[in-house]
Every structure is written in C-alpha cells, then in structure tokens.
C-alpha cells in the first residue's frame, strides 16, 4: 500500500463530529499490517508500540478534522452519518479533501513508516494518533494523564514551505494560545442619574487599557524571534440606551511563547474586574539540539531542497507533549494556509518525503 492509497482511505472517512470510524480504520490497519502491540484507549486514541529499548521515539498525529465545507462531502444534510463520505480527488500531484493536509496525510505517512521500520536496538518505536486535537488537544491530554510519555516525538503537523516554497522544514518551537474572559461588574441605574450607578463599560475600558499596555513576551529560537501577542477580540455589555450597565464582558486572545507569559493577572487588581482563563494551549520548544538536527538531516536526505530549523505560529499537540517532558519537533507535509480551507490539499510527493523522513529517524534514533 502506498502513502497515496492510505491517505485516500483515511481522508474519505468522516471524523469531524465523531472520530470512531477513522480510529477503527487505523486500528484495524495496524493490527493487520504490523505485529506491534496496538491499543485503543477510552478517549479513542490509537497507540501502537514495538521494540524494547529504554528510550522511546513516537510518531504522532491526530485523526479528527474540522467541519468540512459542503463541497467536501458526498451527500446532503439529510444523509445518515453512517452513509456520509468525504470527497477525495487527485489532480496535479495533490490529494484534495477535508483532512488531507491537517493531518491524515501525515498520519498515513507515519503509519507506513512505523510498519516498515525496525526500531533502533536502544529504543522503542511508537505510533500514536490522537482524537480531539482540533478542540484543544483532549486526546493528547488524556493519553498523557494515563502514562503516555515518550522521550522524543515527531509530530506530523505542517512544516513545509516555511524557509522556502516546497521545502519540508523541521519546526523546533511554536506558540501557544491562552483565551481569557474579562468580566466587568458595576451597578445599574437610570441613565438620567449617572452618579447613582457604577458603569461596567467604563470599568471594562480600564481593563482594555491595561491589556493594551502590557508587553507580550518574545524569545529567540532557531535564528528567529518568536513573538507573543495580545488582542481584545470581543465585547458585550449593556441592556438599553437609557440604562447604566451593570455588566460588560471582553474576550482576549493571547499567543504565548515558551517560558514566558504576559501579566494578565494584573487585571484582577482593577475594581470590579474578574479574569477567567477559558483555554490554555501550551507552546512548544525542543531543547535537544541533537534530536532536532537528526530529524533535519533525515528530512534533508529525503528531498532536493535544504530544510531549516524553523518556528510555527500555531499551537499543536506537541505543546501538551512538550509540557509533559517529551522532546518534540514538528515535521509534516501541510503548507501555510492549506489547513481548514474549502480547497484543502496535500502534495503526494511531500507525503512520500515525510514517510521517508520518519522512517530514517525511526531506524537511527536514539
């Protein structure tokens, strides 16, 4: 079976609402094609292991996807879930379909590399495909909480086209995301008696001023500056034109970097303000230079272009693994701007390149 054939199979299986069928397919394939120890946890993660060394290398992906566009689905809104299929098309050397780039193509490449690799005598080789990456990494978190702790991991998220078009690079760091809600509370009053109330919108504007004054941290890594950011993204408050509002809420999107955070906790020093963290996806940074270089060398041997060590702006499951102590890099076929689009696609040549890269690392590391 080729990477093209396996990717087509995986992409055709719906997995935006329910990853079960895609997980079934991956599990069945691994049990049929390998003699590895294959497990399926209660969250739906599929994990396979082979080798007996005391150091572990994992090839990691996820098989959930975001909701497809209408053009990416066979059927209508009345089609039963069991009969639904995703459209998969091949043209101009690419496969088109929801999940082709993010990231069933990389999962297929990792499955084939896992099957065809004999792990280093010093190491155990693991394949893992998680659920729930698109909704905050729930599958990765479940696996980690239940003992998933490889020493090293290659996460197959997109790293192609970062240093130059068409080149598959190796990302050694990425940003995280912290999403927060700021709630301002005051006292309602009739707008004709301004001093009788406490205007929650005014208190909210004090919070906005503080957010705008905060400096988002930045770090230097791989010859680049990975910079965080802060932005107030939503505001809601007030009930009528003639009422002093007693409540106003804001949301803040914060992009975090490894090791540092903006001081948003200072919001709680403001009168009438509470600050709640709704989502906190951790950033990632690989601190093992030898591992990063080994993956870069394997990627170099698999392509004509020269890959670089780069950074990514997007949070991935590598953040959860890195936070738990795994040395992670990201190496995968998806290109910037390709994932989550109505025309999502992946290069077949780059899929094969990633398969070779994963297999080279699996055979030699540690």
The per-residue pLDDT for 84 is: 79
Burial 147-165 (b: 16+ CB within 10 A, else e): ebebbbbbbbbbbbbbbee
Query: Same structural domain for residues 343 and 359?
Result: yes
The residue among 232, 248, 281 that closes a domain is: 281
Query: Same structural domain for residues 148 and 238?
Result: no
Residue 122 pLDDT > 80: no
- CA dist., res. 342 & res. 344, Å (int): 6
DSSP helix/strand/coil, 140: helix
Handedness of CA 24, 29, 31, 34 (dihedral sign): negative
Encode pLDDT of 323-336 as tens digits.
999 999 999 999 99
Encode pLDDT of 143-199 as tens digits.
999 999 999 999 999 999 999 999 999 999 999 999 999 999 999 999 999 999 999
Domain count along the chain? 2
Q: Cβ(298)–Cβ(360) under 8 Å?
A: yes
Query: Same structural domain for residues 266 and 333?
Result: no
Instruction: Residue 159: give its domain's CATH number.
Output: 3.40.630.10
Query: Same structural domain for residues 56 and 191?
Result: no
> Could you give the percent of the chain with pLDDT greater than 70?
98
Instruction: Residue 201: give its domain's CATH number.
Output: 3.30.70.360
Encode pLDDT of 50-66 as tens digits.
998 889 999 999 999 99
Query: Same structural domain for residues 25 and 105?
Result: yes
Query: Same structural domain for residues 238 and 135?
Result: no
Confidence class for position 123, pLDDT limits 50, 70, 90: confident
Write down the number of H helices and E strands in the chain: 8, 22
Query: Same structural domain for residues 112 and 240?
Result: no
Query: Same structural domain for residues 24 and 8?
Result: yes
The per-residue pLDDT for 340 is: 95
What's the mean pLDDT in 53-82?
84
Domain hosting residue 238, numbered range: 176-281
Q: What element of type H or E holds 251?
A: strand 247-256
The residue among 227, 250, 281 that closes a domain is: 281
Encode pLDDT of 253-306 as tens digits.
999 999 989 999 999 999 999 999 999 999 999 999 999 999 999 999 999 999
Query: Same structural domain for residues 344 and 250?
Result: no
Give Cα separations from 115 to 13, 28, 60, 312, 329 (angstroms).
21, 13, 14, 29, 21
* DSSP bridge pairs for 69: none
Query: Same structural domain for residues 217 and 342?
Result: no
Query: Same structural domain for residues 122 and 238?
Result: no
Q: What element of type H or E holds 153?
A: strand 152-155
The residue among 256, 281, 306 that closes a domain is: 281
Confidence class for position 76, pLDDT limits 50, 70, 90: low
pTM value is 0.92
Query: Same structural domain for residues 96 and 36?
Result: yes
* DSSP bridge pairs for 130: 62
Residue 85 pLDDT > 70: yes
Helical residues (DSSP H) of 117-178, grouped into ranges: 138-145
């Amino acid at each position: 079976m080729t990477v093209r054939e396996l990717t087509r199979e995986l992409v055709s299986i719906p997995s935006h609402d329910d990853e079960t069928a895609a997980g079934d397919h991956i599990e069945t394939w691994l049990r049929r094609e390998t003699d590895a120890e294959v497990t399926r946890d209660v969250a739906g993660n599929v994990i396979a292991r082979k080798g007996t060394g005391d150091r572990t290398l994992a090839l990691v992906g996820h098989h959930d996807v975001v909701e497809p566009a209408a053009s990416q689905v066979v059927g209508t809104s009345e089609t039963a879930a069991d009969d639904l299929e995703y459209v998969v098309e091949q043209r101009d050397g690419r496969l088109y379909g929801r999940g082709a780039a993010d990231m069933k193509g990389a999962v297929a490449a990792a499955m084939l590399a896992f099957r065809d690799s004999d792990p280093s005598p010093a190491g155990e080789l693991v394949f893992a495909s998680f659920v729930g990456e698109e909704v905050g990494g729930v599958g990765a978190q479940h696996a980690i909480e239940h003992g998933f702790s490889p020493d090293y991991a290659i996460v197959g998220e997109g790293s192609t086209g970062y240093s130059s078009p068409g080149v598959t690079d190796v990302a050694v760091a990425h940003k995280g995301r912290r999403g927060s809600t700021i709630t301002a509370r005051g006292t309602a009053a009739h707008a004709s008696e301004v001093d009788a109330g406490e205007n929650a919108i005014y208190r909210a504007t004090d919070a906005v001023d503080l957010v705008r004054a905060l400096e988002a941290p930045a770090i230097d890594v791989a010859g680049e500056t990975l910079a965080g950011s802060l932005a107030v993204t939503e505001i809601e408050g007030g009930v009528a034109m003639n009422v002093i509002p007693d409540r106003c809420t804001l949301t803040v999107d914060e992009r975090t970097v490894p090791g540092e955070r903006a001081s948003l906790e200072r919001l709680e020093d403001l009168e009438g303000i509470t600050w709640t963290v709704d989502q906190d996806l951790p950033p990632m940074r690989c601190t093992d230079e030898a591992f990063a270089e080994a993956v870069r060398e394997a990627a170099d041997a698999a392509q004509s272009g020269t890959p670089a060590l780069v950074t990514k702006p997007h949070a991935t499951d590598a953040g959860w693994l890195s936070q738990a102590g795994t040395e992670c890099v990201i190496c995968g076929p998806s290109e910037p701007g390709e994932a989550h689009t109505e025309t999502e696609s992946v290069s077949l040549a780059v899929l094969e390149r990633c398969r070779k890269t994963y297999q080279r690392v699996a055979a030699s590391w540690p």
